[in-house]
Amino acid sequence: MAEKEEKKQVPLRLSPKLYAQLAAWAEDDFRSINGQIEYLLTECVKQRKKDGKYVSETIDEGIELDI
């Protein structure tokens, strides 16, 4: 039987507003906050692999989010 791969732990700092938004979204999707963050990162990596680009060409342009 194959050994289960251990997940890496990564410290992450989030603003209280972003954390609250992620927590609400996670609750809507019946996930833990860690599960929601992992899901979102996985989807971003899949998208990048699919089209060779980052999620958005303008992601670093400092768009104003109300978070």
pLDDT of the chain, 67 residues: tens digit per residue = 667 889 899 999 999 999 999 999 999 999 999 999 999 999 888 887 887 766 665 555 555 666 6
What are the residue ranges spanned by the domains of the chain?
Answer: 16-50
Place of tokens 């958005």: 56
C-alpha–C-alpha distance, residues 34 and 42, integer Å: 12
Instruction: Give the number of other Cβ atoms within 10 Å of residue 40's Cβ.
Output: 14
Torsion from C-alpha of 44, 2, 33, 64, nearest 10 degrees: -20
**Which pLDDT score is estimated for 45?**
86
CB 43 within 8 A of CB 51: no
pTM, 2 dp: 0.68
Alpha carbon of residue 52 to chain centroid = 18
Element (H, E) at 29: none
**Which pLDDT score is estimated for 36?**
94
